[in-house]
Chains A and B, each alone.
Chain A
């Protein structure tokens, strides 16, 4: 929904946080006061001008309902310094990762009118007619599992600085955007070839070479690398035992997993780091523990755990072919090491509910972009996806506290390495490999900024030359 909503900050082309609705951002040297001067004259889709009050209410809502809201646990108070100036006071020093959290591609701290933010204090309760942001497109209509229709926000006020992925000057050229839900890959691909669609996403990489030869169509490799990962129930069941997790870690062969997911070499990367190859935090800490595919070692850990052939459920969203493939291959690897691994395919809603259920969950997989070590905090602080299953360790908490304080890259890089070491040693999460996405566009779709090759589908700056 980055087309409809904006935040104080957003990700730039290098995936650092840059101002979006903020005009300038200042912090005191001790990191306890952060002052956000807002851009003036920015309108919400309902015609109201954005002020510091709206931002305060939106941040407060995000603090309470957003999975990353825990980042503000040391927030002492807000101070509205002026109509367009909001200051945040923290009990402890807060590093620049605050800006990354606000602008994060996942669970961004979106800004909405105060009235709406306060009226709907729960995450899932905003009705369609009150989906109001400041973004370049505004919401028109949504038919579940069929389409989402947006139209250009004619009163959109772009920034004046150079276009920079999700921020900078956003040109808004098309009148409307319709996102059609087309589950079948073959149907989407046929649709781009006939011209029914201008852009399609999530195409199997096997199509890359073929699409290059289709007249009027251009395939686009989309990055950065998406980390495919496996998460565990750390509280109950077999995976609460670290030796079971170590057995799983020892048995996994990411080379084989990535090969199961991509056929075109340039769309998959095996890399030991929990930070993608494009991240400055990418490092080789504990690389020796990665991709061992050591069946004997796995069996040793199982013995230490007293494993008695308990079922190990690997739950996956049925509609996601990549995730199904990677998890099916992972289950085979676990079986080879003597584990009773079973792939359970669920619809998305059930999958979400089951991964919070401490009595049900063993393992689930997903994918994410974690450019900065602090971005792991919300998912490894003992609360995610629920307190009944979540990972927590005092050592990891200490690293997150350090990351929140430290501002120099060198010190944060050292903490990022420490986090990676702990993730390996405590088997908090498993790295299954990195994949790149393939999308395709018709040649009449002009994308001068190269936004389509970056991260999430970003349609500002794009126009139709037909």
Chain B
């Protein structure tokens, strides 16, 4: 019986510890709980990639 109690306690402790690691926002360094997934649709007034594939960190704003 004692062994079962210890096992259950250990299991619960492990689950608790795991929760801090697994669940976002608790132990992952982020202040809020991020949600994964979805498509972010962004409406821009220009084509970011213009006429060529010159890679750059940004296209100069509004040129």
Contacts and interface: CB of A to CB of B under 8 A. Distances in A.
Contacts of A112: 55
B63 A107 contact: no
Given A320-B62, A322-B62, A462 B55 contact: no
Which one of B32, B40, B53, B61 has the highest number of Cβ atoms from chain A below 10 Å of its Cβ? B40
A219 to B, nearest CB: 14
Contacts of A366: 60, 62-63
B58 interface: yes
B43 A200 contact: yes
A180 B42 contact: yes
B42 A198 contact: yes
B43 A174 contact: no
A123 interface: yes
B44 to A, nearest CB: 5
A394 interface: no
Interface residues of A, number: 77
Interface string A119-144: 00001111110010100000000101
Contacts of A464: 35, 37-38, 40
Interface string A129-164: 001010000000010111010000000000000100
A100 to B, nearest CB: 12
Nearest to B53: A126
Given A107-B57, A183-B45, 19 more contacts: A1-B58, A105-B57, A106-B56, A106-B60, A108-B58, A123-B54, A127-B53, A146-B47, A173-B37, A182-B44, A187-B43, A192-B43, A199-B42, A200-B43, A202-B45, A320-B63, A322-B62, A348-B51, A459-B40
Interface of B: 29-32, 34-58, 60-63
15 contacts: A125-B53, A148-B47, A162-B29, A173-B34, A173-B37, A199-B41, A351-B63, A367-B62, A368-B61, A437-B61, A446-B35, A456-B57, A457-B42, A459-B42, A466-B38
